[in-house]
């Protein structure tokens, strides 16, 4: 902020210490706290949040409404397109913006009083259409810029007057039309009519003329028929009708542009209620627009002769003056304006801008410097200002003659801007707008798109490329001046020293910044991302900064996915990664381990993903230990026998059920994002003996992600098995067999790939006792090879190393699994897991039974083998066994019917 600019005061206690930090965009956060060294200042502290340069509601509405068209223009521009299709896209975009600007302006003015944005939308509408006329429409159309300028002033004249605190023509016209008394009795009736005629607002002039008392009396039905018998009234009507015909037949050149045509249709209705907007088109039919200069000149000559004849009809004026001298003098003053008399034009206009418009409508190019803008002379033409050179000369003459009248900062801005536009000085236009102090970040960012289209078409480099009669923009210095740098064609693509980006990106970044910080909470972040995507130098970094500052709630997955979709659509992959990382941190902070790990995986952040997965791994370990020692809630699940009661020793759970993990749903979703998690299968049958290929993984932790994929699949399968058993499903039920198959695949995948940590070998085998004891499918769930893989893995974990190739683990009192709690037995695994040795013996018993079952099924024939397996298994309650000395005298339920 400059020393002489606006200042803002914030409350600060005397002696306190002031801290500040920057927020998003132009946000400054301040807080005063008590000085710890002096104990002075406010005790509670005071926080203040300041921001400036914030986007207006109208800017935000327009940006949202035209976002897709803006993106099309950007894609076409970056593709290097220079054909008519690209210019047509720019023209369609400019027209869509203009229509929205005018709609917002009229809506703000319709409520009466001052607009909510202080007239910003009205000013932006005027400036936007002016740029559209010169940079989009004029280079694409043959016509005349003079008539375009007049039409532009007709549309925006009232709004510009309101900005400077002056009464508006449209507002006063509505007052006179609504007045029940004779409008022509008002002191400003004829001055208002002259001014409307001078500015070419013919439709409104005809409306005001119809408000004359004589006109109203003639249209009053039966009373009007009687009034027409009065000689004085008939004389006034005859004179007024002559003026009416002249106004309706006033020749005008057709506007050269789509915006000019729209202005011609819309100018007459500015400031009117909606029910009167249909009268806007009256001016076109009345004015007799001509597209050819020759036709226009011939029609103008005929019309001027008719107007001269009426002005010379002294008898007509005398008869009207006998009834109303004021009417006769008023009509003569309007005729003076129509005939382009210098004194009449000067008296009818209030400043140089209106004087220039009056010159265009009522005088010929050879009359420049005469009439309303000083000087004498006469002309039989009028309205023939077709090129930028001619319009620039006319405006310069008008400023020289009338520059001191009605002076204001707005007129000064328009004078500089119009001069630069008429000279096709791109650098001058950008400089005027950026230094004006009234051009918003939105206007600067988007108006450059219009200028870029003009430059791309060769306008600035070639000096407009057109003849004086063609209506193209021709710099005052000619094409050579523009090529030498006056046109500023290279300004838009020149890299700025300070920012390192070109001018277009600079203002685009400024506009995106203005959408923050309020836009973050109101949905403006998506709009800001859309603009940052078109910033090649700083857009990616700015988008990442925005994502880091974006308020994120990891529970709002719908909103996050919407944001990520927007990032992907805009090609902002780095910003999407930042958002995933922020969401992961939020989820972990809420204790949602699965969701946190999922977001870190999606962020492609190896370090944070490893940390999040480590937390999930810790939760899995706690859940597995809890099932052994009863440290947590026991999962509900059916017994392997199909619903029979199952014993629970010391709080341990021998029943099938899902692991009780924090954030179970999120952990289930984690499967979709972990490597290999989205596929349906695992390496269950890879070589049937794939375990030995991974024997180097003695630590059991060669892949935490792979381990989590398997253990989560195992938990899902065990949960499905428990649910099936709870519903008393028979062993051969499809739900049971599918759950057993999925559980077997997950268990063997872990064993063969050596993914679990060694200390979790015993808890995992204990958790899988329902699988080891399952008899579905005739007891063929686990083959001898499967059991050998499990035994080899368990032996490696118990010994803390790999088994020698070809070596096998014995099942018996002297084998590695039957050696009791020694370092070479499962007792070592119990010690590593920190659980009592009896759980190791339970697992040992289940392994022995599974080995025996697989051996019997593979070495006996058909039903006999199944029967033998069933007889050997008994009812699930077994006593002392010579195979397992440590289990003698104990009865253990190991999963129901075996």
pLDDT score, position 112 = 52
CB atoms inside a 10 Å sphere around CB 377: 12
Least confident of 236-245, 465-474, 529-538: 465-474
**DSSP 3-state of 290:** strand
Query: Would you state the pLDDT for residue 95?
Result: 93
Of 241-245, 307-311, 716-720, 830-834, the least confident:
830-834
Q: Looking at residue 264, what is its pLDDT?
A: 47
Mean pLDDT within 677-692: 39
Task: Identify the pLDDT of residue 627.
Answer: 85
Q: Of all residues in the chain, what percent are helix, strand and coil, respectively (each to 5)?
A: 60, 5, 35
In the prediction, which pLDDT does 866 show? 37
Out of 289-303, 367-381, 614-628, pick the least confident: 367-381
- Give the single-character DSSP code of 135: I
The average pLDDT across 635-655 equals 44
Going by pLDDT thresholds of 50, 70 and 90, the confidence category of residue 306 is: very high
pLDDT of residue 658: 87
Within 363-476, residue ranges assigned H as helices are: 388-402, 409-422, 426-436, 441-456, 459-462
Q: Which residue has the higher pLDDT, 487 or 693?
A: 487
103/617 Cα distance (integer angstroms): 60
Q: Report the distance separating Cα 150 and Cα 289, nearest Å.
A: 13
Rounded mean pLDDT, 82-111: 84
Q: What is the rounded radius of gyration, in angstroms, for the C-alpha atoms of the chain? A: 44
pLDDT tier at 180, thresholds 50, 70, 90: low
**CA distances (Å), 587 to each of 8, 134, 660, in order?**
39, 54, 19
Residue 760 CA: distances (Å) to CA of 371, 661, 741, 824, 829: 101, 16, 22, 16, 8
Provide the 8-state DSSP code for 372: G
Q: Which residues are within 8 A (CB) of 856 and not within 5 positions of it... i.e. 6 or more apart?
A: 779, 865, 868, 869, 872
Position 668 scores a pLDDT of 67
- Check residue 651 and give its pLDDT: 53
What is the average pLDDT score of the chain?
A: 75
Question: What is the pLDDT, as a whole number, of residue 94?
Answer: 93
**What pTM value is reported for the model?**
0.68
Write out pLDDT tens, residues 412-441.
999 999 999 999 899 999 999 999 888 888
How far is 209 from 149, CA to CA, in rounded Å? 25
């Amino acid at each position: 902020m400059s020393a002489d600019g606006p200042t803002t005061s914030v409350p600060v206690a005397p002696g306190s210490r002031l801290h500040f930090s920057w927020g998003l965009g132009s946000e400054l956060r301040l807080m005063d706290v008590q000085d710890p060294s002096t104990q002075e200042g406010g005790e509670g502290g005071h926080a203040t949040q300041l921001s400036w340069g914030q986007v207006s509601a109208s800017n935000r509405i327009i940006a949202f409404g035209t976002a897709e068209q803006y993106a099309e223009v950007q894609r076409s521009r970056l593709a290097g397109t220079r054909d008519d299709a690209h210019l047509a896209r720019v023209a369609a975009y400019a027209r869509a913006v203009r229509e929205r600007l005018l709609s917002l302006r009229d809506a703000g003015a319709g409520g009466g009083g001052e607009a909510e944005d202080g007239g910003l939308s009205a000013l932006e509408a005027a400036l936007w259409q002016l740029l559209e006329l010169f940079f989009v429409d004029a280079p694409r159309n043959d016509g005349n810029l003079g008539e375009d300028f007049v039409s532009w002033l007709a549309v925006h004249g009232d709004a510009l007057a309101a900005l400077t605190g002056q009464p508006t023509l449209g507002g006063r016209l509505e007052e006179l039309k609504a007045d029940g008394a004779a409008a022509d009795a008002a002191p400003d009736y004829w001055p208002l009519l002259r001014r409307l005629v001078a500015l070419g607002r013919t439709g409104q002039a005809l409306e005001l003329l119809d408000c004359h008392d004589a006109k109203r009396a003639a249209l009053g039905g039966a009373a009007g028929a009687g009034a027409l018998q009065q000689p004085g009234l008939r004389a006034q009507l005859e004179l007024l009708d002559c003026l009416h015909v002249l106004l309706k037949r006033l020749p005008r050149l057709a506007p050269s542009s789509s915006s000019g045509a729209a202005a011609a249709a819309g100018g007459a209705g500015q400031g009117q209620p909606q029910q009167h907007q249909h009268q806007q088109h009256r001016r076109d039919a009345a004015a007799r627009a001509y597209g050819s200069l020759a036709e226009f000149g011939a029609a103008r000559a005929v019309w001027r002769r008719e107007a001269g004849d009426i002005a010379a009809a002294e008898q007509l004026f005398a008869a009207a003056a006998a009834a109303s001298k004021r009417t006769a003098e008023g009509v003569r003053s309007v005729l003076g304006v129509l005939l382009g008399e210098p004194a009449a034009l000067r008296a009818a206009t209030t400043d140089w801008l209106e004087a220039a418009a009056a010159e265009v409508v009522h005088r010929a190019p050879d009359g420049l410097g005469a009439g309303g803008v000083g000087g004498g002379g006469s002309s039989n033409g009028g309205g023939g200002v077709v090129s930028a050179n001619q319009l620039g000369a006319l405006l310069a003459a008008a400023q020289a003659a009338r520059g001191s009248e009605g002076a204001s900062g707005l007129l000064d801005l328009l004078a500089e801007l119009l001069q630069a536009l008429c000279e096709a000085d791109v650098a001058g236009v950008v400089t005027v707008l950026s230094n004006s102090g009234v051009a918003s970040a939105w206007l600067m960012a988007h108006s450059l798109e219009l200028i870029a289209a003009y430059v791309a078409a060769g306008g600035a480099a070639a000096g407009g490329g057109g003849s004086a009669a063609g209506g193209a923009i021709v710099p005052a210095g000619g094409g050579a001046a523009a090529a030498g740098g006056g046109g500023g064609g290279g300004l838009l693509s020149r890299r700025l020293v300070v920012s390192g980006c070109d001018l277009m990106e600079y203002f685009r970044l400024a506009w995106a910044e203005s959408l923050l910080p309020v836009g973050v909470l109101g949905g403006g972040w998506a709009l800001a991302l859309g603009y940052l995507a078109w910033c090649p130098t700083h857009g990616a970094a700015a988008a990442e900064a925005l994502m880091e500052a974006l308020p994120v709630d990891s529970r709002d997955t719908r909103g996050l996915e919407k944001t990520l979709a927007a990032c992907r659509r805009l090609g902002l992959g780095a910003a999407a990664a930042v958002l995933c990382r922020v969401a992961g941190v939020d989820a972990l902070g809420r204790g949602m381990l699965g969701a946190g790990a999922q977001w870190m995986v999606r962020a492609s952040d190896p370090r944070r993903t490893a940390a999040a997965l480590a937390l999930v791994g810790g939760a899995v370990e706690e859940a597995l230990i809890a099932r052994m020692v009863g440290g947590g809630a026991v999962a509900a699940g059916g017994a392997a026998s199909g619903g029979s009661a199952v014993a629970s020793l010391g709080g341990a759970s021998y029943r099938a059920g899902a692991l009780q993990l924090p954030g179970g749903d999120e952990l289930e979703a984690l499967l979709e994002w972990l490597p290999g998690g989205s596929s349906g299968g695992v390496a269950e049958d890879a070589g049937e003996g794939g375990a030995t290929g991974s024997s180097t993984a003695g630590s059991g932790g060669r892949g935490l992600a792979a381990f989590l994929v398997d253990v989560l699949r195992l938990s899902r399968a065990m949960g499905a098995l428990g649910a099936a058993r709870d519903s008393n499903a028979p062993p051969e039920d499809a739900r049971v067999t599918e759950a057993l198959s999925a559980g077997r695949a997950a268990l063997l995948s872990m064993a063969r790939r050596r993914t679990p940590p060694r200390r979790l070998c015993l808890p995992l085998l204990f958790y899988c006792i329902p699988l080891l004891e399952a008899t579905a499918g005739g007891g063929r769930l686990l083959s001898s090879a499967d059991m050998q893989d499990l035994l080899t893995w368990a032996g490696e974990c118990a010994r803390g190393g790999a088994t020698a190739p070809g070596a096998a683990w014995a099942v018996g009192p002297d084998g590695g699994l039957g050696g009791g709690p020694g370092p070479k037995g499962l007792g070592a695994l119990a010690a590593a897991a920190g659980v009592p040795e009896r759980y190791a013996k339970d697992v040992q018993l289940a392994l022995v039974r599974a080995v025996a079952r697989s051996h019997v099924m593979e070495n006996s024939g058909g039903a006999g083998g199944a029967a033998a397996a069933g007889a050997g298994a008994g009812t699930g309650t077994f006593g002392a066994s010579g195979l397992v000395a440590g289990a003698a005298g104990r009865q253990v339920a190991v999963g129901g019917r075996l």
